[in-house]
Amino acid sequence: MQTAAEFEEIVRTQQQRVFRTLVRLTGSRDVEDLAQEVFLRLYRGLEHFRGDAQVSTYLYRIIMNVAQDEWKRRRREREAIASPVFDGEDDADAQWIENFPDAVPDAEASLAQKQLWEAVNDELLQLSEPERAVLVLYHQEECSYEQIAELLKLPVGTVRTHLHRGREKLGRLVRARMHRTNKETGSYAGRGSEL
């Protein structure tokens, strides 16, 4: 059993990871309640934690369970009211832009980078839940195939398949979106140059 101080240390060191992963998995910036549920489940489960795996692996499993519960809730909600869950008007995406220490991008490069991250975040939500989960765990959380298989209770081969298919789909969706954005920007610039 963990002491209160040990649990507080886990929360302190893992909270950013929990929030980041929940945002990517659910597509929502409003994940405080979900994060609280993750840590509540962790607290309740620590007395049964046998130490067969790292606490971070146990925590990922809880994050996945909470995200899956949220997906199910949203699915039921969509079916009940038949309206989109996401309104797409969230400007908080800027926090996902990578900071490069040696280069300060100009305004055009910053805008392009922001548009790319918006496209990735938005189009990630178009993937199936297993594909999205595998991509987030592999690329964002840097989990191995074996860790992902354990967390999602899938065979390693299935994890590889979801990763491959998810990358292909996400790439197609992002390229199509960026093409549309560039086309719209180009046509707007063309009209402006005629004035």
Per-residue pLDDT tens for 130-148?
Answer: 999 999 889 888 888 999 9
Q: What is the reported pLDDT for 25? A: 86
Q: Is the pLDDT of residue 102 over 60?
A: no
Which among 8, 81, 95, 13 is positioned nearest to 46, based on CA atoms?
A: 8
Asked if residues 177 and 119 have their Cβ atoms less than 8 Å apart, the reply is yes
CATH number of 1-90: 1.10.1740.10
Q: What is the dihedral of CA 159, 163, 165, 168, to 10 degrees?
A: -170
Q: Is the pTM of this model over 0.95?
A: no
The whole-number average pLDDT for the span 166-185 is 84
- DSSP letter, residue 110: H
Q: What is the reported pLDDT for 157? A: 95
Residue showing tokens 């922001």? 114
Q: What is the reported pLDDT for 92? A: 47
Q: Is the pLDDT of residue 105 over 60?
A: no
| Span of 19-23, 118-122, 126-130 with lowest mean pLDDT | 118-122
Mutual orientation of helices 145-152 and 55-81 as an angle, nearest 10°? 60
| Span of 39-48, 53-62, 89-98 with lowest mean pLDDT | 89-98
Cα separation, 166 vs 24, in Å, equals 14
Q: What is the reported pLDDT for 185? A: 66
Q: Is the pLDDT of residue 155 over 90?
A: yes
Of 44-48, 113-117, 120-124, 159-163, highest mean pLDDT? 159-163
Which CATH entry fits the domain spanning 92-195: 1.10.3720.10, 1.10.10.10, 3.90.1300.10, 1.10.600.10?
A: 1.10.10.10
Apex CA 142: angle with CA 47 and CA 131, to 5°?
95
Task: Give residue limits of the domains in the chain.
Answer: 1-90, 92-195
Cα separation, 21 vs 24, in Å, equals 5
> Residue 166 burial (CB < 10 Å; 0-12/13-18/19+)?
buried
Q: What is the reported pLDDT for 166? A: 92
Q: 163 vs 7, which has greater pLDDT?
A: 163
The whole-number average pLDDT for the span 123-131 is 89
